[in-house]
Amino acid sequence: MAGTPGLLLLLLCAVGPVSPFSTHWKPTWPAYRLPVVLPQSTFNLAEPEFGAEAKLEVSSSCGPQCHKGAPLPTYEEVKQYLSYETLYANGSRTETQVGIYVLRSGQGESPGKSRRKRQIYGYDSRFSIFGKDFLLNYPFSTSVKLSTGCTGTLVAEKHVLTAAHCIHDGKTYVKGTQKLRVGFLKPKFKDGGRGANNSSSAMPEKMKFQWIRVKRTHVPKGWIKGNANDIGMDYDYALLELKKPHKRKFMKIGVSPPAKQLPGGRIHFSGYDNDRPGNLVYRFCDVKDETYDLLYQQCDAQPGASGSGVYVRMWKRQQQKWERKIIGIFSGHQWVDMNGSPQDFNVAVRITPLKYAQICYWIKGNYLDCREG
């Protein structure tokens, strides 16, 4: 199987694309033939170290053309990248090696340079979300804060999707990860009151974080193995499992469609930017470029927004309804030498069919529940 680029191209095969020129065309979630990513073997690792400083952004000098010119990984390399490390609340950790399978239709079970990074482009187009009527309602209520300083998104009853660099720097775990918590914004009532009507007040209602401990984390080996080179940013994602359900509506993950199929060519995400402490900040912007694994855009963002779930709203044919899905994870800032002049980008990691299969299995524990992206 090693060195079979045809197999890798097959993993991004859409089924029955909708013509954008239809009279009643709606931006529709594509159907994909999804691969299967299954654990093959798991073994214990030595006790981890927790000495890394939290870096709330990731930088890389390898831009769109650099990534597009990179050779396709072999089948064996992809298996290595999708193998993953699990850290448990008691401090133990394991490594799991995976197998990758492509099922036919109807088939049954089968095995840089130093530079100040503003991340703001021209006029600051971010919106701070105030008031419990917005903060506690979907989709803003799916955004949560990590105790290491990043943002995450609720993607299941007990699971949070975030960036890998928020908990691991590629070599060791970030300080505080052994007692990692996830914060949920809640109304802050004065004097124990619970029914005060603040609608007449010009000041936004005060909010506070309620924290839930993390039970375990999953980080792909593509991040741990590759952070010293340019492949690392492609795998800058992690899944956190909480110790108890959060009891909020969550946003499902989905396979990232090509940028030209996104409604208006735009993406959206909300995060806890450091320059607006205590505020949830929403933004949207156009996708400027893309590779198989990354989306390049100029959404205004600051450190702290890393790990935010990038989402779009598209039409779901099967259910005949509009649905938002997470299609990527905001990773950080990148500047690229474009023909001798520096060009700034903010970068999001795309959820490809393989990454969808992996993350979905982490959540569901059964690949049969991960056949629809």
Tokens 């799991």 -> residue: 96
Q: Can 67 be counted among the known catalytic residues?
A: no
Contact present, 80 and 2 (Cβ < 8 Å): no
Among residues 59, 61, 92, 230, which one is catalytic?
A: 230
Which two structure tokens, joined as six digits, stand for 211? Answer: 């924290």
How far, in Å, CA of 361 to CA of 189, rounded?
Answer: 40
3-state secondary structure 257-277: CCHHHCHHHEEEEEECCCCCC
Residues sharing a CB contact under 8 Å with residue 70, sequence separation 6 or more, in sequence order: 230, 231
Which two structure tokens, joined as six digits, stand for 316? Answer: 């779901």
Tokens 């100029």 -> residue: 298
Q: Can 337 be counted among the known catalytic residues?
A: no
Q: Is the dihedral of CA 22, 23, 24, 27 positive or negative?
A: positive
Tokens 């917005």 -> residue: 134
Which two structure tokens, joined as six digits, stand for 124? Answer: 């600051």
Helix (H) or strand (E) holding 342: strand 341-350
Among residues 306, 308, 331, 333, which one is catalytic?
A: 306
Q: Can 234 be counted among the known catalytic residues?
A: no
By three-state DSSP, how is residue 340 classified? Answer: coil
Among residues 165, 218, 246, 268, which one is catalytic?
A: 165
CA 163 to chain centre: 6
How far, in Å, CA of 213 to CA of 366, rounded?
Answer: 25
Q: List, in sequence order, the alpha helices (H) in 305-352.
A: none
Closest to 139 in 3D by CA, of 265, 273, 325: 325
Q: Tell me which residues are annotated as active site.
A: 165, 230, 306
